[in-house]
Amino acid sequence: MTMTPYEVVGLTPAEYAALVAALGRTPNLLELGLVGALWSEHCSYKSSKATLTWLKPPPGTVVQGLGENAGVVELVPGWEVAFKVESHNHPSYVEPFQGAATGVGGIIRDVLAMGAEPIALLDSLHFGTGAEGRRLLPRVVEGIAFYGNAVGVPTVGGEVGYGPEYETNPLVNVMCVGIRPASRRIGAGARRPGDRVLLVGARTGRDGIGGASLLASRAFAGEGGDDLRPSVQVGDPFLGKLLIEAVLAALATGKVTAVQDCGAAGLTSATAEMARQGGTGIRLDVDRVPRREAGMTPEEVMLSESQERMLLAVAPEDVEAVAAAVRRYGVEATVVGEVTDSGNLEVMAGGAVVGQVPVALLTDGCPTRPAPARRPGPMAHRPWVPTAPFDPEEGLRVLAHPLSRSRADIYTQYDYMVQTRTVAGPGADAAVLALREVPVGLALTVDGPGRWCARDPYAGAARAVVEAVMNLVVSGAEPLGLTDGINCGSPDDPAVFAAFAGLVAGVADAARALGVPVTGGNVSFYNQTGGRAIWPTPVIGAVGRHPRPTRPIRPGWTEAGLVLLRVGAPEGDLGATAWRIAAGDGGLDAARAPDLARAAAVVGVIRDAGRAGWVRAAHDVADGGLFVTLAEMLLAARPGVRSVAVRLAGPARPALFDEGPAQAVLAVAPADVAAVQERARAAGVPCAVLGQTGTGDDGMTVEADDGRFLWPVDALARAYRGDR
């Protein structure tokens, strides 16, 4: 069936009618392409914008928040942290290597556009366990390593989740973190008519055309993707490194008034966003845009998503000084337009205006979906606990399962020590960086447990926020802010949109209860192939200030005789746990929503215990429950003290494999046990003695009401490596 021109660019009949009414005329094909790109789901957030207002942080809690390229919070007076998570899901399914690689490059430029030096990357990946998952995972990891290692930004942490719903819809979410002096505070708003617009970086080609409106803004009909491959961008990390240095050098001149990354929809989005945030217009001459391919049309130039490009706004008299700073790194800098007071995006070619659309219409004129009339909450919950006799092999099956086992085979492909800031890297609860610029450090984590959201999106999203914050505090850090990536299927499906709203409400309520602001993030819809949607999956990135970055709290203990305390309490529910998937019946029930007031109290107890120096080692309870927590602590312990004896109240299985949020194991010297317990008692937080670390390398012994069980170190290590 023949498609109309507006259908080709992704507009619906209602959207096209609204466009014609707003313009008062029929748009030409170039104008139609500009609007189609910026009214796509990926660029306009037309289905999510109203609902995302639930995430608005309290006044005064962030430096720059929702709507900017990245969120920014204060680290210490005079220094700030910029961070964001972004998705590259469909491109990574169509072409996993370049899709993942350019996802890394894109999020780096988002942070760079805030005037921050990119210093760390983290990734949240989700795959199926079938043939497609096994095909995609290694190529995605290679793409992340290719770009991150070469660009010189360390990949210091992340996670890999698994589930059948990700088999043909992998999730590739990448988080970048950067730091900047407060004096280098900048944004995208081009506020001064007459300023020149400089295009800095790579030449423009045809790669990536249609990437935003095609790959990230509609569902795939089937599992094939060869016809979509030209829409995936191609990255050059070596030029990306030069671009970082060139832009930082340009900013150091003090003469740049605005910065914007050329990401989705390329020059169209970049110019429109600069004008929108500045309350101005921009005139851009496509004939001035340096190209690497001949014969490109104005529409191709405007919509190309060629990588490693950024726009700078500069006063006319400062152009040469800024361009010289950029060119010192072998990077091109070309004046391609100027800021106007027209309020329009004007595209010129051959000396004439070939397209003109009001900026407000491009960026805010798309019809939007309203937020749900009722804000979702948690579902009613019924605990699920099996009664069959406990088999110690269950523990090894859980530890060996992809949900729980070591990710060393993945993260050892990443350079996580480049820039020499990394103190605690992949494998820790949170990465910890020591900073040369200030006397404090940064703790970083990313979490996206989709299976917790499969049946109750609100509960799972709230648990994800608690998990991220717990990862920071068990490392000894003070949480500063959150960023989120919300990944769902088609918003046109009422059930999917309801799940999306549940995710947003869960994140908002948990962030508010824990006192950690949401600074921004990303929404990725249409993650479905052949009508099969992913589990609704929130990816939560979190940053914290670390007072002692050279001495972070680690999972592994280094001495015998330490007392293990369980702070927080299990729920007695195995319905949504890794145990049920790995060693139970393979089913999945809804996860229980966290008691957010209790979670905030647990966070406070652990934070205060860390500040006081009472905690010698710590690890939160998450995938695989207490069993995996203890096994990971034991395997990370110093040889010669890899021995622990634990006494549990009740039968072994529910106590060992419950994944109730806001639980952690602290290793404490005997002299400090009373102080920790008193702090917990004052906060109304359960704090039970589990056992003690011992000498030798005997492994883990657990006593419970239904028996005494022993797991040798070698058996635990083999399972954790996946060698069983």
Q: Which amino acid is at 219?
A: A
Q: Helix 266-278 and helix 29-38: axis angle, to 10°?
A: 70
Where does the pLDDT of residue 210 fall: very low under 50, low under 70, confident under 90, or very high at 90 and above? low
Q: Are the folds of 1-39+186-366 and 393-405+553-721 the same?
A: yes
Q: pLDDT value at position 327? A: 98
Q: Which amino acid is at 438?
A: V
Helix (H) or strand (E) holding 138: helix 131-151
Q: How far apart are CA 105 and CA 150, in angstroms?
A: 11
Q: What is the chain's mean pLDDT, rounded?
A: 94
DSSP 246-298: HHHHHHHTT-EEEEEE--TTHHHHHHHHHHHHHT-EEEEEGGGS-BSSTT--H
Q: pLDDT value at position 224? A: 41
Q: pLDDT value at position 373? A: 92
DSSP 438-482: SSSEEEEEEE--HHHHSS-HHHHHHHHHHHHHHHHHHTTPEEEEE
Q: pLDDT value at position 233? A: 77
Where does the pLDDT of residue 650 fall: very low under 50, low under 70, confident under 90, or very high at 90 and above? very high
Taking 90 as the threshold, does the pLDDT of residue 235 lie above it?
no
Percentage of residues of the chain with pLDDT beyond 70: 97
Taking 50 as the threshold, does the pLDDT of residue 153 lie above it?
yes
Helix (H) or strand (E) holding 18: helix 13-23
Write the CATH number of the domain with boundaries 393-405+553-721.
Answer: 3.90.650.10
Report, as an integer, the average pLDDT of 204-233.
59
Instruction: Determine which one of 88, 381, 546, 619 is catalytic.
Output: 88
Q: What does the domain layout of the chain look like in residue ranges?
A: 1-39+186-366, 393-405+553-721
Instruction: Determine which one of 42, 90, 126, 546 is catalytic.
Output: 42
Where does the pLDDT of residue 222 fall: very low under 50, low under 70, confident under 90, or very high at 90 and above? very low
- For residues 160 and 126, the answer to whether their CB atoms sit within 8 Å is yes
Where does the pLDDT of residue 225 fall: very low under 50, low under 70, confident under 90, or very high at 90 and above? very low
Question: How many angstroms from the chain centroid is the CA of residue 680?
Answer: 32
Q: How far apart are CA 428 and CA 620, in angstroms?
A: 10
Taking 60 as the threshold, does the pLDDT of residue 59 lie above it?
yes
How do residues 275-322 score in pLDDT, each as one tens digit?
999 999 999 999 999 999 999 999 999 999 999 999 999 999 999 999
Taking 60 as the threshold, does the pLDDT of residue 138 lie above it?
yes
Q: How far apart are CA 722 and CA 724, in angstroms?
A: 6
Catalytic site includes residue 546: no
How do residues 332-376 score in pLDDT, each as one tens digit?
999 999 999 999 999 999 999 999 999 999 999 999 999 999 999
Using the 8-state DSSP alphabet, how is residue 511 labeled? H
User: Lowest-confidence range among 212-226, 414-428, 504-518, 671-685?
Assistant: 212-226
Q: pLDDT value at position 230? A: 47
| φ, ψ for residue 407, nearest 5 deg | -100, 15
Tokens representing residue 686 in the block:
């359960």
Q: pLDDT value at position 234? A: 82
Which CATH number does the domain 1-39+186-366 belong to among 3.90.650.10, 3.30.870.10, 2.60.40.10, 3.40.50.2000? 3.90.650.10
Q: pLDDT value at position 66? A: 87
β partners of residue 337: 197, 284
Taking 50 as the threshold, does the pLDDT of residue 227 lie above it?
no
Helix (H) or strand (E) holding 642: strand 641-647
For residue 68, what are the contacts with CB-CB under 8 A and spacing of at least 6?
114, 187, 188, 520
Question: How many angstroms from the chain centroid is the CA of residue 130?
Answer: 25
- Residue 586: other Cβ atoms inside 10 A: 8
Catalytic site includes residue 381: no
How do residues 695-722 score in pLDDT, each as one tens digit?
999 999 999 999 999 999 999 999 999 8
Length of the chain (residues):
724
Q: How far apart are CA 451 and CA 449, in angstroms?
A: 6
User: Lowest-confidence range among 98-102, 223-227, 529-533, 656-660?
Assistant: 223-227
Residue 600: closest CA among 503, 690, 458, 465: 465
Lateral strand order in the sheet of 344-349: 256-261, 309-314, 196-201, 332-340, 281-285, 344-349, 352-358
Where does the pLDDT of residue 1 fall: very low under 50, low under 70, confident under 90, or very high at 90 and above? low
Exposed e or buried b per residue across 568-578, where buried means at least 16 C-beta atoms within 10 angstroms of its C-beta = bbbbebbbbbb
User: Lowest-confidence range among 10-24, 183-197, 213-227, 644-658?
Assistant: 213-227
Triad 287, 291, 295: Cα angle to 5°: 70
Longest dimension (CA), the chain: 85
Tokens representing residue 344 in the block:
């329009």
Q: pLDDT value at position 559? A: 96
Q: pLDDT value at position 232? A: 74
Taking 50 as the threshold, does the pLDDT of residue 167 lie above it?
yes
Using the 8-state DSSP alphabet, how is residue 684 labeled? T
Q: How far apart are CA 70 and CA 46, in angstroms?
A: 19
For residue 704, what are the contacts with CB-CB under 8 A and spacing of at least 6?
390, 647, 648, 650, 651, 652, 655
Residue 670: closest CA among 548, 552, 559: 559
Which residue pairs from 18-24 have beta carbons closer than 8 angstroms and sit at least 24 positions apart in sequence?
Answer: 18/365, 18/366, 18/367, 19/361, 19/365, 22/358, 22/361, 22/365, 23/357, 23/361
Taking 90 as the threshold, does the pLDDT of residue 161 lie above it?
yes
Taking 90 as the threshold, does the pLDDT of residue 214 lie above it?
no
Q: pLDDT value at position 692? A: 97
DSSP 112-123: HTTTPEEEEEEE
Taking 80 as the threshold, does the pLDDT of residue 89 lie above it?
yes
* Cα 599 to Cα 354, 384, 462, 665, distances in angstroms: 57, 22, 10, 15
Using the 8-state DSSP alphabet, how is residue 211 labeled? I
Report, as an integer, the average pLDDT of 473-499.
97
For residue 21, what are the contacts with CB-CB under 8 A and spacing of at least 6?
none
